[in-house]
Amino acid sequence: MYEFTVTYTEDIARRSVHVVCERVIRRLFDWKLCTAALVTIIGLVLSHSTHELSWLEGAVGALLGVLVAFAIILYRTYLRQSLGRLRRMKTATGHILVTDETLTVSTDLGSGTLPWSSFVGMSEHPGFWLLNTAPVTGLTLPTRDVSDDVLNFIRRKIGAVGH
């Protein structure tokens, strides 16, 4: 069993949101499909660049605009939620309790306990880890001042789930 305290910061919240949004976008849009669509769009625009725009080119442009707007709205929504939670905290700290069976996070906003089987994976980033409970959701764990023993324990527990 390990107990420790972590400190949440605006920088970690922003970088965590960036990683999650990038993951969502990659999950929704396969890079091969996006590349093929981009090449097709460039070809259409170049082949008709001496003429007025056709309805097809307008539709493609509108679709691209919607996709860009979707990405921006997604990012802003996640960021607003994350920073909102951070700002509602009286102290931006979390108390973490790690046992062989569970991980518990407690802040002044509430607490939650998850069994290790709830995690589907994790990703390590400078200063924080994302502990995923689904492909695009999870917990942000600041890693500054957390001992290597604890981090290795968490890594083993989430890796043992088989994902």
Domain boundary among 64, 87, 110: 87
Q: What is the pLDDT of residues 132-143, one digit of tens each?
A: 998 778 899 999
Domain boundary among 87, 119, 143: 87
Query: How many structural domains is the chain composed of?
Result: 2
Q: Give the closest residue to 118 by CA, choosing from 129, 104, 106.
A: 104
pLDDT at position 160, please? 64
Average pLDDT estimate for 126-131: 94
Percent of the chain with pLDDT over 90: 55
pLDDT at position 51, please? 64
User: Is there a single domain that holds both residue 18 and residue 81?
Assistant: yes
Domain of residue 135, CATH code: 2.30.29
**Sheet strands side by side (includes 137-142):** 121-125, 128-134, 137-142
| The two three-digit tokens of residue 93, written as one number | 């700290």
pLDDT band at 87 (very low <50, low <70, confident <90, very high): very high
For 110, phi then psi, to 5°, come to 150, -175
Range of 144's domain? Answer: 2-9+91-160
User: Is there a single domain that holds both residue 80 and residue 109?
Assistant: no
Of 6-15, 31-40, 43-52, 66-75, the least confident: 43-52
CB 154 within 8 A of CB 98: yes
**Who contacts 8 (Cβ-Cβ below 8 Å, separation ≥6)?**
86, 89, 92, 93, 94, 107, 140, 142
For 157, phi then psi, to 5°, come to -60, -45
User: Is there a single domain that holds both residue 24 and residue 83?
Assistant: yes
Q: Look over the chain and give the mean of its residue pLDDT values, rounded to a whole number.
A: 86
User: Is there a single domain that holds both residue 147 and residue 113?
Assistant: yes
Task: Quote the pTM value.
Answer: 0.75
User: Is there a single domain that holds both residue 37 and residue 72?
Assistant: yes
